[in-house]
Each structure stands twice: as structure tokens, then as C-alpha cells.
Amino acid sequence: SVDMALAAAGSTIWELCAFGVPTVAFCVAENQEVVARRAGEAGLLIDAGDLRNVDADGLASRVCDLAGDPSLRDRLSAHGWSTIDGKGADRVATVVRSGLVQYRPAGLGDTMLLWDWTNDPDTRRVSFHPDPVPLEDHERWLAAKLESPESIIWIASDHRGSPLGQIRVDTSEIDRRVGRLAYSIAKQQRGKGWASAMLVGAVQLCFASDELSRLDAIEALVMEDNEASWRSLAGAGFIRIGDGSDSEHTWRTYRIERSARSR
């Protein structure tokens, strides 16, 4: 185990933060100055400044101060590992991949495609209503959704035109500020990292849509055992805000705010 570290303010400091190691950082190159300063301002580490302008006694004093302050070390450690989670590369990859996803509004011509996706056994297993959906019921449901000003459905495809899945957002007359998200991924596209990428683009579409202009947030309810779905939502920037249950189900609630997309 390591109690603390003294390190140059290069990429190593993010690894130290991720592992919760309290750190005194110093700069040995010009490009490190802004990194150390902003990380210090954010409370992630102790910024000792440019090594060329700090004498040995000054640097030793910073180290001794941190070594003698257990509560400060605890704060730096907790803030470091809670802020730097090591998933930055995955987030960048998701955003880049979202640029490859194409969307179009669903229509009646998609009836059979959506019905097949809806009745996929894995999809039904993690649904709140797991029974297979009869085609006649699906046709009536889809026609009503397409006519409703409170619902919007997109079909997502990859850059080659292969269908990826569907995204639906519903609002209500009671509260048009919060949309309820439902989505599914085509069976042959699962496990390839498309879900989060598809959701990133769908969220952007929702908040830019004239039909959903009053939308402030989007929420999704996910069954507790649907790990793939709640991981995909988290990967797209949704935050878990609570849990719920009834006599038959236990679920998680995820939410993303319009303001989160502007940061």
C-alpha cells in the first residue's frame, strides 16, 4: 500500500487519483502547468508549482504538510478515486462511435421489424410485461404511438445501413418536461458497444427536437437484473437516481438532464 506520492504532473497523476493516492505534484514541463493548477483547484492533489521555481525546502515542506495531515490525505484520496474512474477512454470511444449512428423516424413500414425486436426472447425476459406481444396488439399500439404528439420513435442504423435498434421517448400532458425512454438493440448487434453510442445520439436528438422542445430530462426504468441495459445507460451519461419495486418487479431509475449535454 502507498500512503502518498510525490510526482510530476504528467498523465501519472490521473492514475494516482484513480487509485486514491494523495499526491503532491510538481511541473517539469510547460504543458504540465495547467494540469497541475486545475487539478489542484479541483481538490484532487497538492500543486507544488514549477520545479524550476520551487526550492528543495519548499517542496519538502509541502510533502511534510501532507504527511502530517491524515484528514487532508483522506479527502484527496476520496475525491481522487470518485472523480477519476478510469473510464475516460470508453467515454471518448462511445462519443466517437455515436457519430456513426444514423437515425430516422419510425413508420408503419417498420411494423414487422419492431415486432420482431419486441418479441425477441431476451427482450421480453427483461421487460415489465414479459408475455409475447400479439401482432394485432402491436399494430394498434404502433399506429397510436406514431399518431401521438407525446411519443417519438427512431430507428437507428450503423454507417453501413444495418439496423441497430429502436429508441422511443414518451411524454405526457401532465409533465412534458421529463421524457420516458425505452429502447432495444437488435439481437445481432448486441455485445458490440453500439447501445451506449446509439443512446448518446438519441439523447442529442431528443433535446434538439421541436416536438420535445420543453424536455428538461429523460428517464429510463430498467429491471434490476438487466445489467447490460443499465451499463449502456451509464455509458451514455445517464445517472442512477433511485430504485423502485412492486409486488412483481425491482428496477433502477436512470436520468440525464438537458444541462448535462451542454457541459
At 192 the pLDDT is 86
At 173 the pLDDT is 67
Exposed/middle/buried for 151, CB within 10 Å: 0-12, 13-18, 19+? buried
- List the beta bridge partners of residue 166: 155, 184
Q: Mind listing the pLDDT tens digit for each residue in 124-169?
A: 999 999 999 999 999 999 999 999 988 999 999 998 999 999 999 9
Q: Where are the domains of the chain?
A: 5-86, 91-261
Q: Mind listing the pLDDT tens digit for each residue in 1-19?
A: 789 999 999 999 999 999 9
Alpha-carbon separation of residue 71 from 67, 76, 137 (angstroms): 10, 9, 61
DSSP 107: -
Of the pLDDT bands very low, low, confident and very high (cuts 50, 70, 90), residue 74 is very high
At 80 the pLDDT is 92
**% of the chain residues with pLDDT over 70:** 98
- Residue 117 above 90 pLDDT? yes
Mean pLDDT on 250-256: 95
At 261 the pLDDT is 58
Mean pLDDT on 222-245: 93
Q: Mind listing the pLDDT tens digit for each residue in 188-214?
A: 999 888 999 999 999 988 888 887 778
**Tell me, which fold does domain 91-261 have in CATH?**
Aminopeptidase (3.40.630)
Q: What class, spelled out in words, does domain 5-86 have in CATH?
A: alpha beta
Helix axes 70-83, 56-67, angle to 10 degrees: 90
At 2 the pLDDT is 84
At 103 the pLDDT is 95
At 257 the pLDDT is 93
At 84 the pLDDT is 87
DSSP 82: H
Regarding predicted confidence, which is higher, 184 or 55?
184
Quickly tell me which residue has 467515454 as its cell: 91
Q: Mind listing the pLDDT tens digit for each residue in 20-45?
A: 999 999 999 999 999 999 999 999 99
For residue 202, the Cα-to-chain-centroid distance in whole angstroms is: 13
- Are the C-beta atoms of 13 and 46 separated by less than 8 Å? no
User: Mean pLDDT across the chain, nearest whole number?
Assistant: 90
At 174 the pLDDT is 67
Regarding predicted confidence, which is higher, 219 or 210?
219
